[in-house]
């Protein structure tokens, strides 16, 4: 089975409150949507965690082949070997991603402009917004 994974990470104030968003498709059919709150981290870490989460979901769904798309040019170029991973905080995430990639018979990743990755972007921001909404106390004047 071949799946397509769209991933995005968001961090407000970088570093700041962060979330990840993943959309997994089988052809044109969406088979998974994931929005997870990450706590306080950087945008680059959030991008890697979103990518990793997408790979994990594809494996869980039984994919043998995966095409990935992300709007993080840094992530895509590091995974493709065009850039070295210099940030020590990203090194373990990079190695974890490579280990997951090795479980697929076929893998590819391409950069996607932000405006074409709107679904994953919306999910990453939803994760942050939902966390903030759930941590607020009751409104004044309500019982």
In eight-state DSSP terms, residue 139 is P
User: How does pLDDT run across 17-58, given as a tens digit for each residue?
Assistant: 999 999 999 999 999 999 999 999 999 999 999 999 999 999
Higher pLDDT, 84 or 137: 84
pLDDT at position 48 is: 98
Q: Tell me: pLDDT of 143 over 60.
A: no
pLDDT in tens, 72-100: 999 999 999 999 999 999 999 999 999 99
pLDDT at residue 14 above 50?
A: yes
Terminal Cα-to-Cα distance of the chain (whole angstroms): 52
Structure tokens at 18: 């962060």
Count of H-run helices and E-run strands, the chain: 4, 5
Q: What is the mean pLDDT of the chain?
A: 95
Record the pTM: 0.94
Q: Does domain 2-133 have CATH number 3.30.420.10?
A: yes
Write down the domain spans for the chain.
2-133
């Amino acid at each position: 089975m071949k799946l397509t994974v769209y991933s995005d990470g968001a961090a407000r104030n970088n570093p700041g409150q962060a979330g990840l968003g993943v959309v997994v498709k089988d052809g044109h059919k969406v088979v998974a949507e994931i929005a997870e709150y990450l706590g306080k981290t950087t945008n680059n870490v959030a991008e890697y965690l979103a990518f990793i989460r997408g790979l994990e979901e594809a494996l869980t769904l039984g994919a043998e082949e995966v095409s990935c798309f992300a709007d993080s040019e840094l992530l895509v170029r590091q995974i493709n070997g065009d850039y070295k991973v210099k940030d020590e905080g990203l090194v373990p995430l990079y190695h974890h991603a490579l280990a997951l990639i090795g479980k697929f018979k076929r893998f590819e990743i391409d950069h996607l402009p932000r405006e074409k990755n709107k679904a994953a972007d919306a999910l990453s921001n939803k994760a942050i917004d939902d966390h903030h909404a759930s941590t607020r106390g009751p409104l004044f004047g309500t019982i």
